[in-house]
Chains A and B, each alone.
Chain A
Amino acid sequence: AQKITQTQPGMFVQEKEAVTLDCTYDTSDQSYGLFWYKQPSSGEMIFLIYQGSYDEQNATEGRYSLNFQKARKSANLVISASQLGDSAMYFCAMREGGSQGNLIFGKGTKLSVKP
């Protein structure tokens, strides 16, 4: 079974609008971390935001926020006020507490921001 599922292969959003990228996860660990990374066309992996399984508040970092619904095992990324530079692949990832630190990635969502 997939540990990280991103069901949207591609998304379009109008510049200045908000967009939600979906991510669901599967783990039996009580302690885990959820991450979002951005990969522009140049290829590098850029860390965006982190949510811990015990965090009660949703994480926010500037225009990025993570809509964490633990009971539903979802960790959706919300980007507010989209900019043209937000066009990229976005990967959801999980680190389980019982692992040696490695990240498990989803297949990614390609976001295209339209002017």
Chain B
Amino acid sequence: AQSVSQHNHHVILSEAASLELGCNYSYGGTVNLFWYVQYPGQHLQLLLKYFSGDPLVKGIKGFEAEFIKSKFSFNLRKPSVQWSDTAEYFCAVGKFSGSARQLTFGSGTQLTVLP
């Protein structure tokens, strides 16, 4: 079955530690890739996206992600996390289905950053 996998369900880091959250997908063909973030009590917001071109994409708040087509991966990274990065992070894959391009989300990774 086509799916989006986020292997880390809960990650706990201290401030200034480096972050890498894994995301793998099993779709074939052309896909668009996204990372969304949900801060406590807020709705989902787009962090970054990959559509085409440079596989290393930079998003807001110092986040970046690298698309590795051969590995079907789109891992999220940040060199130095802050307490304010505590949130739930969702990887999503965009692919045409039905009458529109749909997003399929992974199960999410809860990041807790300790001060």
Asked if chains A and B come from one complex, the reply is no
- Point out residues on A near B: beta carbons under 8 Å: none
- Point out residues on B near A: beta carbons under 8 Å: none
